[in-house]
Chain A
């Protein structure tokens, strides 16, 4: 059977009955899509912005008061975060944390990062802590521990250099 609108084979057959009047349609996939008789094809772009707006809107019901905070660093307001679904700078993640967490829960089904961490920055932070412990050890005249700490710090210094290669 051929499509009612073109010569392609009809692969979609629709029957509707309205007030005992039976009506049949036989179409090919393309004509059916053109006439919006089929759902949108897969691979159609996911409208992330609309999705985010929808999610943020849903969150509005949880708020009991109007949030008037704005970020001193980038000027992002709660209203523009809601409207655009975009963060303005790194500090927004801390400032708007309470809004963000339920949103992240919906997007990622998680709120905690468990992956990679910046290596050089982390090493520097750990080294700082070891240096403090070294000072304490020296103050307590625990020279054996101090020597161990010193060796570890030196090793980490080499590692930070290593990340620079």
Chain B
């Protein structure tokens, strides 16, 4: 499977379906796992890292899974291809810059992926569209069992699954829910809400995880604590908080419709106008405008653009995707021109933007 084959696809997390998908884009769970008898990645030499890759691939071949995970050796991929995988949420920015043997295995739906030799030997990940913590947990739990039958995991009776960083030890579980919160942001309730979340040991981050800021009102909320709580309890606590935020965003959206429908209509129309007529546009501006359009769709202010198209544009306007679409590398300014042209074409295909 070549990476080019992925280009027309959306990837599980942008399908725009699933429960609460008007607000929740995707649910992700990852498990950090290490092999018992090899030092963690940062202290492993090249031959030990190669052994991790080999043993993982052997275990993967034996594990009887309901899907096929194809392994990609990152050493054989260009920096552009690596960035492409980062944008699709299949690998982390850290793995993209890793030196030495490492890789990623994922299925054709891009719903299940396993990073090899990231900070931990194995990072298992399951992505689902919409709000699907239970579903994602069942799937990843099964995957974990299937691999564990063939790989001796580093496990300590007191500390649980051992990880390179003590912030992940225990369950090694991080569950993140990606939310689109434009109305809470517009009504200036967001900062207060997010501050409250951080007080109860949950983390808020932007689109691409650690070290990224919130673009296009997209926020990832995840658990911080991995030790001392069982997996179902971690997920339940996260679920309860997300439900409160969901209710808040819905209420804020209703308020916007009641109090300032015309203002919102104007914002959406202007956003579409800019997206459809700019000749130079940055990723940041595109994301902000798409966020406005996405809200417009769910407030039913426009009806001729499907959410999936907006989701698709969210990812296609990112640097590596854009270059893959154009077919050659572009510098910053060229990208802004190509992005504007691409958006204009896509919106023209959808016809006039009147509600």
Which residue numbers of A lie inside 8 Å of B, CB to CB?
41-46, 48, 52, 73-76, 84-90, 93-94, 100, 103-104, 107-121, 160, 163-165
Contact = CB atoms under 8 A, between A and B. Distances in A.
Contacts of A85: 165-166
Interface stretch (B14-22, B209-217, B346-354): B209-217
Contacts of A113: 156-161, 169-171, 227-228
Contacts, number: 156
In the A-B complex, list the 5 residue pairs whose CB atoms are closest, starting with the nearest: A110-B228, A113-B160, A90-B154, A108-B227, A74-B39
B98 to A, nearest CB: 15
Contact of A112 (B40, B42, B212, B228): B228
Nearest to B161: A113
13 contacts: A42-B190, A46-B203, A48-B165, A74-B40, A88-B40, A93-B156, A103-B166, A107-B167, A110-B229, A115-B171, A115-B230, A163-B145, A165-B64
B227 to A, nearest CB: 4
A86 B165 contact: yes
B148 A118 contact: yes
B62 A164 contact: yes
B341 interface: no
A164 B40 contact: no
Nearest to B170: A113
A26 to B, nearest CB: 18
Contacts of A110: 170, 225, 227-229
B36 A90 contact: yes
Given A76-B43, A88-B40, A163 B146 contact: yes
B164 interface: yes
Interface size class of chain B, counting residues whose CB lies under 8 Å from the partner chain: 35 or more
B284 to A, nearest CB: 13
A44 B213 contact: yes
A76 B39 CA distance: 10
A44 B203 CA distance: 11
Given A75-B43, A107-B167, A163-B145, A115 B160 contact: yes
Nearest to A162: B149
Q: Which of A86, A104, A108, A115 has the most CB of B within 10 A?
A: A115
Contacts of A114: 228-230
Interface in B218-261: 219, 225-231, 234
A42 B194 contact: yes
A135 to B, nearest CB: 25
Nearest to A108: B227
Nearest to A122: B155
A16 to B, nearest CB: 23
Nearest to B173: A115
Interface in B45-66: 62-64
Nearest to B37: A90
A109 B150 contact: no
B276 interface: no
Interface string B191-202: 100110010010
A89 B39 contact: yes
Nearest to A41: B213
Contacts of A163: 145-146, 148-149
Given A90-B34, A111-B158, 9 more contacts: A43-B206, A88-B39, A107-B166, A109-B225, A115-B171, A115-B231, A116-B171, A164-B62, A165-B64
Contacts of B206: 43
A116 B231 contact: yes
Given A103-B166, A104-B166, A113-B158, A88 B43 contact: yes
A80 B193 CA distance: 38
B165 A87 contact: yes
Nearest to B165: A86
Given A45-B212, A116-B230, A90 B146 contact: no
Given A43-B213, A45-B211, A90 B156 contact: yes
A102 B348 CA distance: 60
B163 interface: yes
Contacts of A112: 158-159, 227-228
A110 B167 CA distance: 12
A75 B43 CA distance: 8
Contacts of B150: 164
B162 interface: yes
Nearest to A42: B194
A74 B166 CA distance: 17
A87 B162 contact: yes
A117 B166 contact: no
Contacts of A45: 205, 210-213
Contacts of B212: 45
B153 interface: yes
B92 interface: no
A117 B204 contact: no
